[in-house]
């Protein structure tokens, strides 16, 4: 499968489109074919390793990779279609249109992502496009926060 990867921290030109191995779902996971992904400020900060909150860099550097990124495929918010489910998954079935978050697993900048079925993954409303659904989790919560 193709994915947007980065092997070092830096400017946007560190991204490359690369062929990587397609994930295989474990018993409790779903494999989702990505149709849309939201590019966020967090993705940009992780890519460049430049954060507005300066005290945060050391614990995050240890968690995300000291000299290079541990996770080479970013992307935390997505919309797509369930392609395969693990043996223990009953909440989803092949063909379900869904959207949600990858939490700290990232990976939505690829053609496919494998996620635990108990993550925040929900049915995509019929009246929303994949692009709208991908933007809803973070963008919608931010809008709601500032409206309140």
pLDDT band at 92 (very low <50, low <70, confident <90, very high): very high
Q: Residue written as tokens 């000291």?
A: 66
Give me the domain span that covers residue 76.
2-147
Q: Is the pLDDT of residue 145 over 80?
A: no
Structure-derived torsion over alpha carbons of residues 52, 66, 10, 7, reported in degrees to the nearest 10: -140
Structure-model confidence comparison of residues 148 and 34, the more confident one: 34
User: What is the distance of C-alpha 80 from the center of its chain?
Assistant: 11
Summarised one tens digit per residue, pLDDT across range 17-26 is 999 999 999 9
How many domains would you assign to the chain? Answer: 1
Going by pLDDT thresholds of 50, 70 and 90, the confidence category of residue 102 is very high
CA R_g for the chain:
16
Q: Which tens digit of pLDDT belongs to each residue from 7-19?
A: 999 999 999 999 9
| 21 HSE (CA, 13 A, CB side) | 3
Give me the mean pLDDT over the 39-53 stretch.
Answer: 88
pLDDT tens digits for range 48-71: 988 877 777 788 888 889 899 999
Output the domain CATH number for residue 118: 3.90.180.10
Higher pLDDT, 141 or 74: 74
Q: What tokens were used for 71?
A: 């996770």
In the chain, the DSSP E strands lie at: 2-5, 16-19, 29-38, 77-85, 97-101, 112-116, 121-123
User: Residue 52's pLDDT is what?
Assistant: 78
* Pair 119, 108: CB distance under 8 Å: no
Residue 104 CB-density burial (10 A; 0-12 exposed, 13-18 middle, 19+ buried): exposed
């Amino acid at each position: 499968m193709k994915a947007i990867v980065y092997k070092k921290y830096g400017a946007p030109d560190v991204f490359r489109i690369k062929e990587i191995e397609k994930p295989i779902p474990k018993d409790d996971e779903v494999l989702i074919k990505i149709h849309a992904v939201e590019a966020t400020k967090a993705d940009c900060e992780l890519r460049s390793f430049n954060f507005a909150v300066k005290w945060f860099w050391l614990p995050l550097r240890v968690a995300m990779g000291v000299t290079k990124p541990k996770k080479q495929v970013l992307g935390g918010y997505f919309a797509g279609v369930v392609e395969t489910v693990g043996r223990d998954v009953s909440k989803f079935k092949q063909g379900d249109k869904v959207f949600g978050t990858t939490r700290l697993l990232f990976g939505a900048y690829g053609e496919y992502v494998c996620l635990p079925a108990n993550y925040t993954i929900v049915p995509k409303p019929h009246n929303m496009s994949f692009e709208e659904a991908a933007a809803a989790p973070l963008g919608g919560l931010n809008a709601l926060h500032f409206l309140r």
